[in-house]
Structures are given as C-alpha cells and as structure tokens.
Structure 1
Amino acid sequence: MITLHHLEYSQSFRILWLLEELGTPYELKLYERDSKTRLAPDDYKALSPIGTAPVITDENGLVLAESNAVIDYILDAHPESPLRPAPGEGTRADYLFWFHAGVGSVMPMQFMNGILTMMKARSPALVRPIIGKATDTVREMLVAPRLKVLFDKLESDLGRNTWLAGDQLTAADISMCYSIGSADAQGRLEGRPNCQRWMEQMRATPSFQRAMEKDGRETFIFSF
C-alpha cells in the first residue's frame, strides 16, 4: 500500500486529491511546517534526496518524489481510470499540455514572481528603491507577459471545455490545481470567468472536499 507523506500547505495536496478521486486504499502521514521558517521538518526532508513535497513510499522500498512523476506512477496502477486519457483519444493533446504546463511553465513563472517580490520586500532600506526598480523591470519584461499568455490560454481552453481536458475531471486538473489556486489567491483570475468557474467546480468536487477534510484546512489557498 502507498503511503502519502503530506506536508501542510504544499504541492502534496494534489496527490491527496488524486488518491481520493481514485478511491484507492492508502496511508496518510501528515507533517507540519516549522512555525518560524515555514519549511518542512527534518524528518520530512530526510524522506527524499531532494527534500520536497510530495513524497510517496511503500512497503517494497519505493521512495518517489516530484508531483507529476507520482501522479503517473499511481495512474499506472489504475489503467482503467478516466483520469488519464489514452493515446488516440480526442482530449489527449489538451491533457498532455495542461498536465505538464503547470509544473513546466506556470509554476516556474509564479515562483519567480514570488522571489522578485521577496527580494524587494526584504532588501535593506537603503538599497530597496534600486532593488525594487530592478525586480519590477524583470517582472514587467519576463514574468507578467508570460503569465498573461498562459492564463489567456487557460481562459480560452476553459471556454470550450468543462475541465482542462474535455468534459470530465482528469489528472491535468489535479496537477494544475496548485498553480490555479495560487493565481486565484493573487487576484490573477479576476476578469477570467471561465477560470473562476473552474475554481468553483473544483471546490464542489466530492473527492476534493474529502481531501480538504483530511488535509485539515478550511480554505484552499496556495501562494508563492
């Protein structure tokens, strides 16, 4: 049986949601972040060489990290699941794009945006105007345009599909939930009704609600 090592307020929520949607047996082990640093505790970091969430293990010695690798591994054991459209299906291209865009394009830009904000906020007062001007320039030149293109496409795709890959939930939606949730927290979904609808239907999904209950949170907010 798989054990999900779930770190609060982390990307491992996606695996928790996946397992709840599949309805497959699993063991859940919860970890709290350090109250001061907000980093993962040492026993969590020791689970994987890269020390990040999510991590799954099993009784045969499996230790696997990286969200999409974990999702694929779990879905390999459930080939009948509609959460991963098969090659040749009409929704396969949309599925592949959004399944990988979250961690390959959207999250790196959101992370960079967060780093730029942190650099400006935490720089010494004497140099903050200079640092602020430099970080704002990078954001305007690189981060903001890239994120706009990605969320424009997201809005457009959700205008023709109920979910990211057709009319039913897939692992692409589960993979993207962290990125879209972060964007919602930053106000990036304002003026994007299709994205807002996606957020509402995600929150209404029974498996999502069960995952939230096991996670122990009352609201779904991720931020960088």
Structure 2
Amino acid sequence: MLVLHHLENSRSQRIAWALEVIGVEYEVKTYLRTPDNLAPDTLKRIHPLGHAPVLQDGEITIAESGAILEFLADEYDPERRLKPEDKKSLRDYRYWLHFAEGSFMPLLVMMLLFRKIPKQPMPFFVRPVAKSICNRVVSSFIEPRLRDVLSLIEDHLTQNNWFAGDKLSAADMQMSFPIFAMSASMPLEGYPHIERWLVAVRKDAAYQRAVVQVGEFKVF
C-alpha cells in the first residue's frame, strides 16, 4: 500500500488530492510540527531533510511534490487522469507543474520571512528599523512580482478552465498550494478567473475527500 507522510499545514494536500483522483488505496501518516513550526525528528527518519510530502511505495521513497505527482501519473494512472495526452495540454501541464515551485513559491516564502522578521526577538530600538526595511522589501520588490505572477495566471485561466486545458490535471494540484496560500495572504477580487478556479477546486469531489484525509490549506 502507498503511504503518504503528511506534515500538518504542509504541501501534502495536493498529493492526497491526486491519490483520491486516481482512486488508489493509500495510508496517511500525519506528523505534528514542533513549537518552532519545524518537522519532528520522526519525519526526518523518513527523509533526511524532514520535508513533506513524502510518498513510500514499498522500497521506494519519493520526496518533492512534482516528482511524486509524476510518479503517480506514470505508475498508477492508466486512465490518464493526472497527465494530459495532447501536445498543447501536455506543454501547459509541464510548465505549470514546474512554475508552482520554481517561480511562485519562492516569492511567497520570501514574503512570509520578511513579515516574520520584525516579530522576532530584538532590541526595542532595532525593531522599527527592521520593520521599515522589511515592509519596503515586501512593497517594492515582492508584491509587484506577485502581482505579475497573478496576472499571468489570470490570463491563462481566462482562456482555460484548468491549468492544462479543459480537464483537471496534476498541474492544478501542484498550483493549488501557492494559490491557496496567496488567497489567504492578499485579496484576489481583481482576478475573477482565479477565483472561479478556486471555487471549482473546492467543489471537486476528490479534493473534498483529500481534505477529509489531511485537512484544508491553512498557511500564511
């Protein structure tokens, strides 16, 4: 049986969603974060970096969401529910599968870090300076680039129901984490097609089953 190692409030939700879509039997092992919001040592015994998600298939252990989704598409999805076949949809699938972690998530992580820095212990006279610098980085560097990212996504979803065309694919699952994180961080009223996509995701029966298994996205 496949085993999904899930760290609370991590990126494991999209793997559970994929597993529910293809209908394969799996077990979830959930790990709670430490008071410092880190992975516990028990998860590091599964993967040395303590990252989640991690998927075990017998003797095979796979980390990184994109690699796991590709593995599931290749090994457990004969009906091609995760990966499209036609060339254009396949190009889009590959692009967004890599875009999520390559272009989108680094900006979100940077924003999270710069918002946290002023809240860390420091001399009282340093805090206003740290807060001013961090706010400037967020407003002048991170947020403009995130708006560019959202505009790119909005334009694509204006022309496509899902990220790889007219059908749900693993590209949507990979993109779901940063978009849910983004929607919790800043309003998306100016991006109606992203909002439409979010509604469609939440209505998907397989997504709803995945939420029962590992919980809803609660980040940032």
Provide the TM-score with structure 1 as the length reference: 0.91
Residues 120-154 of structure 1: CA deviation (Å, up to 9, x unaligned): 22252211121122222222332112111110011
Q: Which structure 1 residue ranges, 5 or more long, are not aligned?
A: none
Contact residue 8 and residue 30 of structure 1 kept, 8 A: yes
Q: Aligned partners of 2:118, 2:27: CA distance in 1, in Å?
A: 41
The two structures, once aligned, show a CA RMSD in angstroms of 1.6
1:141 counterpart residue number: 140
1:175 aligns with 2:174: yes
Q: 1:107 — aligned with what?
A: 105
Structure 1: how far apart are the matches of 2:140 and 2:186?
A: 20
Matched with 2:6 is 6
Q: Which segments of 5 or more consecutive residues in structure 2 lack a partner in the other structure? A: none
Question: Which residue of 1 is the match for residue 203 of structure 2?
Answer: 204
Paired with 1:40 and 1:169, the residues of 2 have a C-alpha distance of 31
Which residue does the alignment assign to 1:30?
30
Q: Deviations over 1:152-206 (max 9, x none)?
A: 0111111111111111101010001110000111124232111111111100000
RCO higher in structure (CA 8 A, sep ≥6) = 2
Supply the distance in 2 between the matched residues of 1:223 and 1:127 (Cα, whole angstroms): 28
What's the secondary structure of 1:91's corresponding residue?
helix
- TM-score calculated relative to the size of structure 2: 0.92
Partners of 1:41 and 1:164 in 2: how far apart? 34
How many residues matched?
A: 218
Q: Distance in 2 between matches of 1:164 and 1:135?
A: 33
**For residues 82 and 90 of structure 1, what CA distance do their matches in structure 2 show?**
16
Q: Secondary structure at the match of 1:119?
A: helix
- CA apart distance, 1:79: 4.6
Amino acid paired to 2:218: F
1:1-224 paired onto structure 2 within 5 Å: 1-34=1-34, 36-59=35-58, 61-77=59-75, 78-86=77-85, 88-124=86-122, 125-215=124-214, 217=215, 220-224=216-220
What percent of counterpart residues are identical?
37
